[in-house]
Amino acid sequence: MGEMALSTIGQAIFVRKNLSVTDKGGFYTHHPVTNHSGIFQYIKIRTDKDEFIIGNIHGLWLPTGKLDNPERIKQSEMIIDLYATHKGKKIICGDFNLRPETESIAIFNKDFKNLIKDFGINSTRSSFYKDAERYKDFISDYVFVSRDVNVMNFKTIDAFVSDHLPIMLEFS
């Protein structure tokens, strides 16, 4: 953990130029040599008042759906373990490829605010995704924040750039 994991699917974190990145890293959560590899990447940024660790995941995708399995539970535990070693405010976001009722999501709900749930978001899918009704997987993207993060604004954006809706979080 700590070195950047390279993604073949175009995963990135972009940072405003006026913010100072103090650390970065990442790791594969599973299958590092396949097209279905999972990647977690993170950065640490410092503001005048606070330090944040912000992570982005593309979680394990399986053709069988978005329910729990040992690999998905392990992926959640790996992220929680990493975040337990960092001080400061914490944000975890991305395409977890998990349904809301899974134990894998409950692992995050224990110590973090689940903004998808707290803000009543009903879907993170755009109209490009044709299987939501079939699989009942209207949500697979999440944003979790530590309880000390001040959430000023949070919403999905109706811009059809992929099968996922963009999510906007304003915080301090």
Query: What pLDDT band is residue 1 in, cutting at 50, 70 and 90?
Result: very low
Task: Name the strand (E) or helix (H) holding 84.
Answer: helix 70-84
DSSP string, 111-142: TSEEHHHHTT----B-TT---HHHHT----EE
Higher-pLDDT residue of 82, 6: 82
Tens of pLDDT along 106-158?
999 999 999 999 999 877 765 656 665 655 557 778 999 999 999 999 988 78
Higher-pLDDT residue of 151, 165: 151
Task: Name the strand (E) or helix (H) holding 95.
Answer: strand 89-95
Record the pTM: 0.87
Q: What is the pLDDT of residue 46?
A: 93
Q: What is the pLDDT of residue 78?
A: 94
Q: What percent of the chain has pLDDT over 70?
A: 80
Tens of pLDDT along 24-57?
999 888 766 566 667 899 999 999 899 999 999 9
Q: What is the pLDDT of residue 134?
A: 57
Structural domains of the chain ordered from first start: 20-171 (3.60.10.10)
